[in-house]
Structure 1
């Protein structure tokens, strides 16, 4: 099987030759482990086209905190080598600014036409995805998290206008990716705290669910796959996400008890695993990492498909655990 065929078979529960996997590496992991991590990953190309790794340039900042301003005008602080961090100053301090606020430009057709040409190469035998963007998180980045939760408590009309403009902006990217010929489109919004949804399920269903459905509709109409990543305790919205078309769900499943995962998730939708990056992967023993991968395959991969293996490598993950995780992918990654 090619990688593309393998991923499609896993998503559709059609018995691929092995469990597909996807790399996920933070820059800080390369800075810690250097060229040996580059060589290790390049010797194991994943099923989504991640190959030809190199060590990314390290920001020249004093201390561990990096500050930057993104294309939306949001000012970020983040710990060097990790993820995006937090917005400390947002561009929409007042709803009075919304009318004149300019969204970043969307790539023109020539960009997606160039992508289409590259995807048509015979060497491009992996599963091809494009980015559908975020909604909830981008709203936080434009207003700050604290302000957005206050906005959601009141739901003023400008909040609806902002959400709809973001959906329209995301849709322009989605249509571009579909014209380019990708196999699926990925979305990401972290909806959970450690033990509950960040807003009430009722409000999620009334405010956000219809807007996700609007973004998903052209993807389903084109016969392509929808990937959705969401961190935290998000079990309250799994049924809704599956209902509106999500094909591959990437929840933070180590937070939930096995019985709940068996009842609500396993066998119902393809799961892209989120191996335990809070405890086991960075702080466990190699044997605990191996056992965690084995249990994940046994839970989600017993339905003639339904699993994509994926575990994040941050700068806090020791070398022996990286090796153990990938060796376990190879040893246990059979349906």
Structure 2
């Protein structure tokens, strides 16, 4: 069974031969633990990969996304990278006053996907391929206005808020259409909706404003035969059922903070849990026994003839030994 078929069977609850695996290796890990990263990729190669961002023309970015210093992305958003290996935050809004909205333009360059090059990449691998873009309407709004002002806008919801969000949504619909016309296997949505112990906004507001937006993306992707994956950090238990309803099939979230057993009770067999292993305490500070316990807990409560992807993040602070133990634990459970 190829990795591509393995992941498809997992998401469809069709009895895959084993749990698929994926390590999210951040540039921090490549810089601080290069030998471990190389060994990890050799011993536990990923079953899921992301297509490179292949466009007909280079995107107009300045600086490097994960290097210390200023990075300006293709939208013109300015990221202050204080540390190398992780992307920073936006301090200066692209739209400070609503008068600035008149000159704002979405980047059409990201719609000019080089379909032939993407298809060639997909044909070159047996891995399950995700689109080389992230559909992130809320986070993009935050990058444009700053997070603080974005939350104020969400509360007040002036006409300009709806105008800007509508423009972002229209652009991302076209991005989903562009990538859905390629041979990638899945589309990725990405918005962080949770804080440590609650949603950043009320679930009622989220359902009113953002649920229809995500439904549109899922409809476009799934009508084209693509799987829909999503990432969202924080405690988002209250909207998981909504994500399933709109068409999200695999969710990367902080399952420990929401309660693995509770998630399994409510959503097992309806949603694929795309990881993760707790990266706040367990990966950096846990023992090998803690790691195995976390993996066993996910298998016990979330697995249902599929429905679990063995994913973890090798990022700042993570113990290399613990990252390896995650994949050893999944391998050993599959061998039983």
TM (norm. structure 2) is 0.90
- Report the Cα offset of residue 312 of structure 1: 0.5
Choose the corresponding residue for 2:71, options 68, 71, 90.
Answer: 68
Which deviations, in whole Å up to 9, do the C-alpha atoms of 1:250-303 show, x marking residues without a partner? 1211102344212222222111011100000111112211221122122212x1
**Aligned pairs, number:** 323
Counterpart in the other structure of 1:213: 215
Structure 2: gaps of 5 or more residues:
52-63
Choose the corresponding residue for 1:253, options 247, 252, 255.
Answer: 255
Counterpart in the other structure of 1:94: 97
**Conserved 8 A contact 1:32-1:315:** no
Q: Root-mean-square deviation (CA), in Å?
A: 2.2
Counterpart in the other structure of 1:307: 308
**Conserved 8 A contact 1:19-1:334:** no
Which deviations, in whole Å up to 9, do the C-alpha atoms of 1:136-189 show, x marking residues without a partner? 111000000111111111111111111111111112221121111211101110
Counterpart in the other structure of 2:328: 327
Structure 1 residue 3 and structure 2 residue 6: aligned? no
Counterpart in the other structure of 1:54: none
Counterpart in the other structure of 2:122: 119
Counterpart in the other structure of 1:15: 15
TM (norm. structure 1) is 0.90
Cα distance change of structure 1 residues 70 and 110 upon mapping to structure 2, 3 Å threshold: closer
- Report the Cα offset of residue 99 of structure 1: 1.8
- Report the Cα offset of residue 105 of structure 1: 2.8
Cα distance change of structure 1 residues 244 and 46 upon mapping to structure 2, 3 Å threshold: same
User: 3-state DSSP class of the match of 1:308?
Assistant: strand
The equivalences for 1:184-263 within 5 A come to: 184-263=186-265
**Conserved 8 A contact 1:139-1:148:** yes
Structure 1: gaps of 5 or more residues:
52-56
Cα distance change of structure 1 residues 255 and 142 upon mapping to structure 2, 3 Å threshold: same
Q: How many Å separate the matches in 1 of 2:134 and 2:76? A: 20
- Report the Cα offset of residue 328 of structure 1: 1.2
**Conserved 8 A contact 1:73-1:90:** no
- Report the Cα offset of residue 129 of structure 1: 1.2
